[in-house]
Structures are given as C-alpha cells and as structure tokens.
C-alpha cells in the first residue's frame, strides 16, 4: 500500500459500499426503497428533539405550552436574549474559539509537518503522547489551571481560556494535519530543494498551499471543539470572559425557566456549528474519527 492510499481512505459519507457488491442477486427496486423509507423514518425520530428545540425558539411565549404547530413565528425570544448579556458572551465565544484555533494552527501545523517528513527514532512515541493528551479528562486539567490562573491573573480572561483549549486542539491539529501532509507527494518538495529552497521555504511555498483544504478543515474542527466547550468555560470564567454555553446555563439557573430564551440561546449557539458542519462535512468526518479506523 502506498502512503497515499492509507492516508486518504474513502470516507463514509461518500457511497459505493457493500450493497453494490451484492450485484449478482440484484436488489429489487422495492427493497432499496424500503431501506430508504426506514432510514428516513428513523431520521425523523432522531431529529425530533433537535427540531423541537429550534421550533420553540420561534414560538411566541404565550403558545409555548401548546402542542399545535400552527403559530406565527416570532423573534421575541432572540430579541430578549440579545438585549441581555448574551450578545457579549456570544462574541466572547467567537473570540476564544478564533484565538484558540489560530494558536493551535500556528504551533501545531509545523509540528505535524515535521512528524510526517522526519522519521526520527521515537517518533511514534511522540505522536502517541500527543494523541493521549487529548484523552485526558478535563477535571485533571481544571484543578491545576484554576489555581495557576488565580496566581497568573489569567482567570476569567479570553486568552486564558484559549490557552486551555490548546490541551485538546493542539493534539487535533498535529494528528489531523499529519494525514493531510502524508497525501502531499514529496517529489514536489524535492524539486524545490534542488532549486535551493530550505525545508521551511519549500513547506511554505509548496506543501502548505497543497494542504490548504486540510488546514481549513482542521481549523473548522478546532473552532467547533473550542466553541462546544462547556466545562472549562464554566470553571475558568466568571463575568468578563463568559462564553455562550455558560451564559445559557446561567440564565437557566438564575432567571427561572424561560423556555423561549433557552431555546433561542440554544439555537444561536448551535448555528455556527451546524453551518460549518454542512460546509466541511467531508473533512469533519475524518477529523472526528481521526486515527479511529484501521486502514
């Protein structure tokens, strides 16, 4: 197997699997139809709770306890939300996630490249150590970080939170970018060396542009992981750097059960993630299952 084969397995969202190979016993049209119907029915069941939340966000507060789906959609929930502090925390989330993504890429991409091209002894141990850091439970990091941040003055700051997110995002960048770099043929780099480029010059001019889609996908994934975090933000922020997930829970606790606000908040928080998922679905899958499938 060449490295190109192993680095880029066909990914599960693009079809062509087993059922096709059963061609000799040609599946009847009806049977294929039956599978699709079953799949759509199950999809409806699985999506129902999710869609219910979204629909509550647009439901007038007065109709909230009605099951009728006939109502005039309103943006009151969103309006009430954005008049409070929620906008601030939404922007905090954006800032923290962007900063963490930028830092992870800046530090992690060169490391991934070095790990891909440089076969040094112990390389596998380094790669494994990096991956294992991602497995560590957040509770193990929060206690030391909480105490250290009090001392360093990083408590309740966007920078502090972005730094903590490196504990998982750096590993993702290094791990994922390796598979993208492995797919770039070394011949192009060799040509650049012969033309007098240094290692990093060749990387910057040749390899990185070729791996650009991979960088973009990795960035999106980092952003999502940082965006989705609740635990670290809950513990390491207080008022200034509160992120959107924590803000939702706060008004869930302190302002009683205002379902339309909660639903509106939930909808806003998941919006970027859902948009990104649609945009980079193909790469997202590889990121989420990175290293998971034997090839």
Partner 1 sequence: MADATVPAPPASQGWQSARRRAFALGLAPSLIVLLAITLVPAAALLVASFTPLSLTDPAGTFHFRDPLGNYRHLLEDARFLGSIATQLKLSAASVALQLAVGLGLALLLNGPSRVLGAARGAFLIPMVLPPIVVALIWKIMFTPDVSPLHRALDAIGWPVRSVIANPDTALWAIAFADTWQWFPFTMLMVLAALQMMPADPIEAASLDGADRWQLFRYIVFPHIRPVLVVCGLFRLIDSFKAFPLIFVLTDGGPGTVTEVTNYYGFIQAFNFSYWGYASAIAMVILAGVFTLSWLVGRLGWNDHDKR
Examine residue 38 and tell whether it contacts partner 1 (CB under 8 A). Answer: yes
Member of 88, 186, 210, 250 binding partner 1 (CB under 8 A): 186
Counting runs of H as helices and runs of E as strands, what totals does the chain give?
A: 16, 0
Contact flag: residue 126 with partner 1 (CB under 8 A): yes
φ and ψ at residue 207, rounded to 5 degrees: -70, -50
152 binds partner 1 (CB under 8 A): no
Given 60, 84, 102, 138, the residue binding partner 1 (CB under 8 A): 138
List 85, 133, 157, 250, residue binding partner 1 (CB under 8 A): 133
Q: Distance (Å, rounded) from C-alpha 106 to C-alpha 173? A: 10
d(C-alpha 106, C-alpha 167), whole Å: 15
CB crowding 222-246: b at 16 or more within 10 Å, else e: bbbbbbebeebbebbbeeebbbbbb
Q: Which two tokens stand for residue 178?
A: 């390796």
Tell me the three state secondary structure of residue 138: helix
Cβ distance 141 to 183 under 8 Å?
no
Nearer to partner 1 by Cβ, of 96 and 170: the residue is: 170
Asked if residue 275 binds partner 1 (CB under 8 A), the reply is no
One of 11, 74, 76, 159 touching partner 1 (CB under 8 A):
11
Residues 6+ apart with CB under 8 A from 187: none
CA–CA dist 113, 56 (Å, integer): 46
Q: Which of 62, 75, 91, 128 binds partner 1 (CB under 8 A)?
A: 128
Burial 79-89 (b: 16+ CB within 10 A, else e): ebbbeeebebb
User: Alpha-carbon torsion 218, 224, 230, 234, what sign?
Assistant: positive
Among 26, 36, 83, 153, the residue binding partner 1 under the rule CB under 8 A is 36
Segment contacting partner 1 by CB under 8 A, of 71-79, 94-102, 188-196, 205-213:
188-196
- Residues 92 and 89: their CA atoms lie apart, in Å, by 5
Part of the chain binding partner 1 (CB under 8 A), chosen from 77-85, 152-160, 205-213, 247-255: 247-255
Task: Choose one: 71-79, 83-91, 170-178, 204-212; the region binding partner 1 (CB under 8 A).
Answer: 170-178
Which of 182, 222 has the CB closer to partner 1? 182
Alpha helices (H) in 84-157, listed in sequence order: 86-117, 123-135, 138-152
Applying CB under 8 A, which of residues 161, 206, 215, 269 lies at the interface with partner 1?
A: 269
Among 60, 61, 64, 71, binds partner 1 (CB under 8 A): 64
Nearest distance in Å: CB 231, partner 1 = 5
Q: Give the interface segment with partner 1, choosing from 77-85, 153-161, 164-172, 207-215 (CB under 8 A).
A: 164-172
Q: Which of residues 209-228 bind partner 1 (CB under 8 A)?
A: 224, 227-228
Binding mask 71-110 for partner 1 (x = CB under 8 A): ------------------------------------xx-x
The whole-angstrom separation of Cα 279 and Cα 285 is: 12
Helix (H) or strand (E) segment spanning residue 31: helix 29-58
Q: Is 252 in the site for partner 1 (CB under 8 A)?
A: yes
């Amino acid at each position: 197997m060449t490295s190109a084969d192993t680095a880029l397995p066909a990914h599960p969202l693009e079809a062509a699997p087993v059922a096709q190979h059963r061609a000799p016993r040609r599946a009847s049209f009806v049977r294929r139809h039956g599978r699709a119907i079953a799949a759509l029915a199950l999809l409806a069941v699985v999506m129902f709770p999710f869609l219910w939340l979204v629909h509550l966000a647009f439901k007038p507060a007065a109709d909230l306890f009605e099951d009728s789906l006939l109502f005039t959609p309103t943006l009151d929930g969103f309006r009430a939300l954005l008049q409070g502090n929620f906008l601030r925390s939404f922007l905090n989330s954006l800032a923290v996630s962007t900063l963490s993504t930028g830092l992870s890429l800046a530090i992690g991409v060169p490391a991934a490249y070095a790990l891909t091209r440089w076969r040094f002894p112990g390389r596998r141990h380094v790669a494994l150590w990096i991956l294992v850091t991602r497995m560590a439970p957040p509770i193990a990091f929060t206690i030391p970080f909480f105490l250290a941040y009090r001392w360093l003055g990083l408590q309740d700051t966007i920078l502090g939170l972005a730094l903590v997110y490196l504990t998982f995002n750096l590993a993702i960048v290094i791990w994922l970018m390796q598979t993208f770099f492995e797919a770039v043929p070394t011949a192009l780099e060799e040509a650049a060396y012969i033309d007098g480029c240094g290692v990093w010059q060749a990387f910057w001019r040749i390899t990185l542009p070729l791996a650009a889609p991979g960088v973009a996908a990795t960035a999106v994934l980092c952003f999502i992981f940082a965006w989705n975090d609740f635990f670290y933000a809950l513990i390491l922020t207080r008022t200034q750097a509160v992120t959107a997930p924590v803000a939702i829970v706060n008004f869930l606790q302190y302002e009683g059960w205002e379902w339309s606000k909660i639903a509106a908040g939930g909808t806003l928080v998941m919006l970027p993630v859902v948009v990104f998922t649609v945009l980079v679905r193909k790469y997202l899958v590889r990121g989420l299952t990175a290293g998971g499938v034997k090839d």
